[in-house]
Amino acid sequence: MLAKTLYDKLWDAHVVRQEEDGTALIYIDRQLLHEVTSPQAFEGLRLAKRKPWRVSANLATPDHNVPTTELTGGVSSIKDPISRIQVQTLGTNTKEFGITEYGMGDVRQGIVHVVGPESGATLPGMTVVCGDSHTSTHGALGALAHGIGTSEVEHVLATQCLIQKKMKNMLVRVDGVLKPGVGPKDVVLAIIGKIGTAGGNGCAIEFGGQVMRDMSVEGRMTVCNMAIEAGARAGLVAVDDKTIDYVKGRHFAPKEEYWDAAVAYWSNFKSDLDAVFDKVIELDGSNIEPQVSWGTSPEMVASVNSVVPDPAKEADPVKAGGIRRALDYMGLKPNMAITDIAIDYVFIGSCTNSRMEDLRAAANIVKGRKVSPNIEQALVVPGSGRVKQQAEAEGLDKIFIEAGFEWRNPGCSMCLAMNADRLPPQKHCASTSNRNFEGRQGAGGRTHLVSPQMAAAAAVAGHFVDVREMMGVSL
Amino acid sequence: MSMNQFTKLTAIVAPLDRSNVDTDAIIPKQFLKSIKRTGFGPNLFDEWRYLDVGQPGEDSSQRPLNPDFVLNQPRYQSAKILLARENFGCGSSREHAPWALKDYGFDVVIAPSFADIFFNNCFKNGILPIPLPEKQVDDLFKAVESKEGYELTVDLEQQQIVTPAGQVIDFEVDAFRRHCLLNGLDDIGLTLVHAENIKAYEQKMREKTPWLFA
Ligand code: SF4
């Protein structure tokens, strides 16, 4: 039998019909919905007098527009009327069609990509879609997961299928052992720095190697989350014991009677040893340093102990122009030390880094320290109500608050500033989110992508600093 | 008739004599916050059509119209065919652009060329975009402008446009897309043709992965 990659296996397991022209009808096991990209899809169903094909395959939660301050008023506490209507509409649509919604104020509400795995709505071997590009996150569980457009959201609602062409197979192998203080976010930023934001175009990227095997499932989610920033719609990690342990006992996980069969089925979702990839990239994990993005694209990253690049030293004039424009927007000088970049805002949150391990890693740095006086605002926004609850049970909220952080309610928040949390113009933000595009966190805002522990260290120091100095790790 | 069906139509033609009309001109960005796929009609070409700046949610019937804009002229009020210049629908990929055209009442757009994504989005939304040679489009512009109440008949089955004088203009359309439009098959309709395959797949997986259906 022909050796198959993990992606091949996931694809093959979901083909409903193969067409001559190379397209296929692919079955979708799970659709996640949020308030921004779903209203027109529901409207389309209504206009065409259609019903969802399989109501129970859908799960909805509002995240982009929800305020992270008091939620006591429920939806009515959203001040911006347009945001409020979007959130309300998700509620009425899900009610009308009988779809489960984790609404505002529900402890299960949160960022859709945190809620999916956490609730067991995402399981190994599944196909998962959502009208959101960071759906790649769910691939960490050995699921085929990617973002789709609004017409496709409607298509999945109505048919439980998508018309797709198969992507290419790409393997990013990170071998070796990570140094202390270096985490999943540094790994994925280093990968994007190496292959660029178009490096994974047209591919499903499988992340493999010793580093990925050693990594926790939550860490794998951080890596897969940013597959899209490397140009790949889907990121994947093979199923192993950690995956299975992670899934066990979650709300939508298989019940006792099916558990053994499920584990046996899932165990097949890894690439065969002799599987052939269209593209293979290798990185030595033991060389990865804590990363900081200095520009306006996620590929514009550097190690914390290096300097901001100098466009004059770039031979390619197009690249040099790109660096110049980015430095101009970011208000940075060529050759300045990354550790000399002063920080005004700190944002710990987003679907990349708002899970328990992220908050623990940050709290670990913050504990017993204070946020630097030059920081205007430092936010911690847990990814879901459950994460918030657990963090509070562990006393992390107190650690953050005592240090001078604001402890908020779950949502996308300052990741894209669609709610009231915005980065003001020209302010530098150490952010654990995934996109540093111009204006992403607020018009004119300057985003630096970092890991949760690096964001915490920057909050304390008031500028970037190698977090290992605060961890007592000798370099 | 399904909203995504198109067979044959005889209607007034409105001439929009500009090239490179982009999707932000078709429907300006402030209207994307809407939760609907319908209701964009009043804001179609908003910046050209009105003298003020439109806001989402506003009642456009009270706004000052730009009398110079072609769609505001009484003779084109019931137009269902839009005649345009090259590279129509360029810019952002927003599906709101065909939504706005359709909602306003346009079922056909004739132009020398179209932007790719917009062209695709038209078919998804029951609009027939017809690319014609530049010269032919030019002649149509002259004819439309010289005669009030100028109508064209667009027949997708025959792939023909018929002028009031009885002149026949043939046009090309992808066979698969033609089939979809004639039968009112949107992508969803097409997929649902295979409903039995989907059900069979589900039946198979119900046995193989029963926990997904529990
Ligand atoms: S946290 Fe940011 S990236 Fe993630 S879903 Fe929300 S807005 Fe998108």
Tens digits of residue pLDDT in A288-323: 999 999 999 999 999 999 999 999 999 988 789 889
B165 touches A: beta carbon within 8 Å = no
CA angle B124, A32, A27 (to 5 degrees): 65
Structure confidence by residue, pLDDT tens digits, A263-297: 999 999 999 999 999 999 999 999 999 999 999 99
Determine, for residues A123 and B212 on separate chains, whether the beta-carbon distance falls below 8 Å. Answer: yes
Q: Is the pLDDT of residue B146 over 80?
A: yes
Quickly state the pLDDT bin for A36 (edges 50, 70, 90). Answer: confident
B125, B212, B213: best to mutate for the A interface, most A CBs within 10 A: B212
pLDDT of residue A148: 84
Q: Are B129 and B111 in contact (CB under 8 A)?
A: yes
CA of A63 to the centre of ligand 1 (A): 8
CA angle A112, A123, B197 (to 5 degrees): 100
Q: Which has the closest alpha carbon to A106: A97, A93, A118?
A: A118
Q: Whose CA is nearest to atom 6 of ligand 1?
A: A412
Q: Which has the closest alpha carbon to A460: A378, A355, A338, A360?
A: A378
User: And the tokens for A299?
Assistant: 């590929």
pLDDT of residue B179: 85
Q: What is the mean pLDDT of chain B?
A: 90
Q: Are A131 and A33 in contact (CB under 8 A)?
A: yes
Three-state secondary structure call for residue B162: strand
Three-state secondary structure call for residue B196: helix
Structure confidence by residue, pLDDT tens digits, A100-146: 999 998 999 999 999 999 999 999 999 999 988 899 999 999 999 99
- A351-377: average pLDDT: 98
Determine, for residues A159 and B2 on separate chains, whether the beta-carbon distance falls below 8 Å. Answer: no
Alpha-carbon gap, residue B203 to B192, rounded angstroms:
17
pLDDT of residue A475: 65
- B123-141: average pLDDT: 94
Q: What is the mean pLDDT of chain A?
A: 95
Structure confidence by residue, pLDDT tens digits, A146-155: 988 788 899 9
pLDDT of residue A301: 98
Other residues' Cβ atoms within 10 Å of the Cβ of residue A188 = 31
* Range A322-332 burial, b when 16+ CB lie within 10 A, else e: bbeebbebbeb
pLDDT of residue B115: 80
* Residue B64 DSSP one-character state: P
Q: Is the CB of A130 under 6 A from ligand 1?
A: no
Determine, for residues A25 and B35 on separate chains, whether the beta-carbon distance falls below 8 Å. Answer: no
Q: How far is A13 from chain B (nearest CA, A)?
A: 9
Q: Are A34 and A63 in contact (CB under 8 A)?
A: yes
Quickly state the pLDDT bin for B183 (edges 50, 70, 90). Answer: confident
Three-state secondary structure call for residue B31: helix
Q: How far is A29 from chain B (nearest CA, A)?
A: 8
Q: How far is A41 from chain B (nearest CA, A)?
A: 8
| Burial class of residue A336 in the structure, from the number of CB atoms within 10 Å of its CB (0-12 exposed, 13-18 middle, 19+ buried) | middle
B175 touches A: beta carbon within 8 Å = no
Q: Are A299 and A191 in contact (CB under 8 A)?
A: no
Determine, for residues B188 and A150 on separate chains, whether the beta-carbon distance falls below 8 Å. Answer: no
| Burial class of residue A162 in the structure, from the number of CB atoms within 10 Å of its CB (0-12 exposed, 13-18 middle, 19+ buried) | buried
Three-state secondary structure call for residue B14: strand
Q: Is the pLDDT of residue A66 over 50?
A: yes
pLDDT of residue B172: 94
Structure confidence by residue, pLDDT tens digits, B104-115: 999 999 999 898
User: And the tokens for B27?
Assistant: 């429907």
Q: Is the pLDDT of residue A228 over 50?
A: yes
- B52-56: average pLDDT: 82
- A154-178: average pLDDT: 96
Give counts: helices (H), strands (E), chain B. 8, 7
Q: Are A440 and A427 in contact (CB under 8 A)?
A: no
Quickly state the pLDDT bin for A26 (edges 50, 70, 90). Answer: very high
Q: Is the CB of A416 under 6 A from ligand 1?
A: yes
pLDDT of residue B92: 52
Structure confidence by residue, pLDDT tens digits, A42-64: 998 998 899 999 999 999 999 99
Alpha-carbon gap, residue A139 to A172, rounded angstroms:
14
Q: Is the CB of A114 under 6 A from ligand 1?
A: no
* Residue B184 DSSP one-character state: T
Three-state secondary structure call for residue B36: coil
Chain A residues whose C-beta is within 8 A of a chain B C-beta are: 16-17, 25, 27, 29, 39-40, 43-44, 47-48, 50, 53-54, 81-82, 85-86, 89, 123, 125-126, 149-151, 154-155, 158-161, 163, 253-255, 258, 261-262, 265
pLDDT of residue B91: 61
A255: closest chain B residue by CA: B211
B2, B124, B191 ranked by CB distance to A25: nearest: B191
Higher pLDDT, residue B56 or A43: A43
Alpha-carbon gap, residue B207 to B211, rounded angstroms:
9
pLDDT of residue B58: 86
Q: Are A364 and A331 in contact (CB under 8 A)?
A: no
Other residues' Cβ atoms within 10 Å of the Cβ of residue A425 = 11
To test the ligand 1 pocket, which listed residue (A421, A434, A449) has its Cβ within 8 A of the most ligand atoms?
A: A434
Q: Which has the closest alpha carbon to A404: A435, A380, A440, A439?
A: A380
Q: Are A154 and A40 in contact (CB under 8 A)?
A: yes
Q: How far is A155 from chain B (nearest CA, A)?
A: 5
Quickly state the pLDDT bin for B1 (edges 50, 70, 90). Answer: very low
- A348-359: average pLDDT: 98
- B119-141: average pLDDT: 92
- A-chain residues within 8 Å CB-CB of B194? 16-17, 25
Quickly state the pLDDT bin for B38 (edges 50, 70, 90). Answer: confident
Amino acid at A388: K
Q: Is the CB of A355 under 6 A from ligand 1?
A: no
Structure confidence by residue, pLDDT tens digits, A447-475: 999 999 999 999 999 999 999 999 988 76
A159, A258, A265 ranked by CB distance to B188: nearest: A159
Quickly state the pLDDT bin for A72 (edges 50, 70, 90). Answer: low
Question: What percent of chain A stands above pLDDT 90?
Answer: 83
